């Protein structure tokens, strides 16, 4: 169902609440605007703090996927103490 919004004097528009809700857009969020043919597409974006940016690198995300697969497949170990962990590491 289409939603309409009027362009104000300074080129601003208000996204209707139904659109914000459906896209998960909250106050303060960034929105990328891509011009396509004779229209525009809004793409919600989130800022990541610089100290957390490493987590979203391709290499780190590949490691996260690998760890998730190991957990799902049961390729994990648990230890009662740090000493037990270190003993297990020394075996390898």
pLDDT 10s digits, 59-76: 999 999 999 999 999 999
What pLDDT was estimated at residue 59? Answer: 96
| The domain over range 1-47 is classified in CATH as 2.10.260.10 | yes
Alpha helices in the chain (DSSP H): 17-23, 58-72, 82-91
pLDDT tier for residue 79 given thresholds of 50, 70 and 90:
very high
**Domain spans, the chain:** 1-47, 50-91
Question: What digits encode the pLDDT tens for the residues 16-70?
Answer: 999 999 999 999 899 999 999 999 999 998 888 999 999 999 999 999 999 999 9
Q: Which of 52, 18, 55, 13 is nearest to 31 (CA)?
A: 13
Cα angle: 49, vertex 53, 55; to 5 degrees: 125
């Amino acid at each position: 169902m289409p939603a309409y919004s009027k362009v104000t004097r300074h080129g601003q528009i208000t996204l209707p609440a139904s659109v914000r809700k459906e896209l998960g857009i909250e106050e303060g969020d960034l929105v990328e605007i891509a011009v396509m043919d004779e229209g525009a597409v809004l793409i919600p974006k989130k800022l990541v703090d610089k100290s957390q940016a490493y987590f979203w690198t391709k290499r780190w995300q590949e490691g996260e996927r690998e760890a998730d697969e190991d957990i799902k497949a049961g390729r994990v170990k648990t230890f009662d103490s740090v000493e037990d962990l270190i003993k297990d590491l020394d075996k390898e």
